[in-house]
Amino acid sequence: MEVRKGHRKRINYSVFIMAMLGVIFLVVFCYMPMLGIIIGFKDMDYAMNISRALGTSKFVGFQNFKAFLNDPDFKAIMTNTIGLNVLQLIISFPVPIIFALLLNELSFERLKKIVQSVTYFPYFISWVVFGGILIGLLSPEGGAVNQVLRSLHIIAEPIAFTSKPEYFWGIVIVSAIIKGLGWGAVIYIAAIAGIDPSLYDAARIDGAGRFQKTVYVTIPCITGTIVVMLLLAVSGLLSSNFDQIFVLQNPLNISKSEVLDTYIYKIGVAQRRYSFTTAVGLFKSIISLILISLGNFISNKLLGRGLY
């Protein structure tokens, strides 16, 4: 529709106000807190009054970053964080995609809704409750997992799964899949629902079966969604699910369960080392920015699509 000269375009003020609320939210809760980054370059550890210390504390440059890199626990923490997240990316990332593809093949709508409801439910349980249930199931004293394994003669004596470091990563990965399977598949299910049905009709006319339709129609059509989710997952390789790790962590498995997020909490909150943990958080953010930029560059080069 052409706009005559001299006439101003009408502004939908209700939509504009709604959009501005989102911008204000980002500014207040995302951009303004970034001013606190300066804490990582000052000596504000153990300060009682943060606002006063912000103006009076001494500038120490990159001293806090060097302290973190020289920390005796640095290697173990980074190994646990990167190792656990890479394994989750390899194992956990494809599971919701496969689940969404399988769910799409269910022709019985009532069964599909039941399966979706059952798999969605764990997501809405807090990790405190879900972790407590998991610890109970894995308990060596009456835990269901040990009882089943003993009845199948897989083990002779009960195993204290949550107390042994070698089992911790496996417990985290499996529990994350169980809890997030249904919710993680929502985006892929929505992407599949948006595929043009005529593509499936054309594939059927060409003699394609259900598997061929999935491979040559469904997966290519949702590749863009998969790429975006993969890039976001790659950018979070230094971020762990704090609630999950903290609930399942104990002094006996600490050698495999201490990750950056729990380390920042213990050092920053419990010991009040504000400058040190701000530097650690900034270090993590910079690495995440590099990862998502590198992943986006590679994706654009190989697949011709990315986040931007």
> Which residues, 6+ apart, have CB-to-CB distance to 281 below 8 Å?
40, 264
If you search the block for the tokens 């970053």, which residue do you land on? Answer: 65
pLDDT at 207 over 70: yes
pLDDT band per the 50, 70, 90 thresholds, residue 8: low
59 DSSP β-pair partners: 42
Considering the four listed CATH numbers 2.30.29.30, 1.20.1340.10, 1.10.1040.10, 1.10.3720.10, the one that applies to the domain covering 92-184 is 1.10.3720.10
User: Which tokens in the block code for residue 169?
Assistant: 């990563």
Predicted TM-score of the model (pTM): 0.84
Judged against a pLDDT cut of 60, whether residue 14 lies above it is answered with yes
Domain residue spans of the chain: 92-184
Is residue 225 pLDDT above 50, yes or no? yes
Mean pLDDT of 199-210: 88
Q: Which residues contact 307 (CB under 8 A, 6 or more apart)?
A: 228, 231, 292, 296, 299
- The secondary element (H helix, E strand) that includes residue 234 is helix 223-235
The token pair that represents 45 in the structure block:
């550890």
What's the pLDDT score for residue 3? 46
| Average pLDDT of the residues in 63-79 | 92
Q: What is the CA radius of gyration of the chain?
A: 25
94-130 residues labelled b (16+ CB within 10 A) or e (exposed): ebbbebbbebbeeeeeeeeeebbeebeebeeeebeeb
pLDDT of residue 36: 85
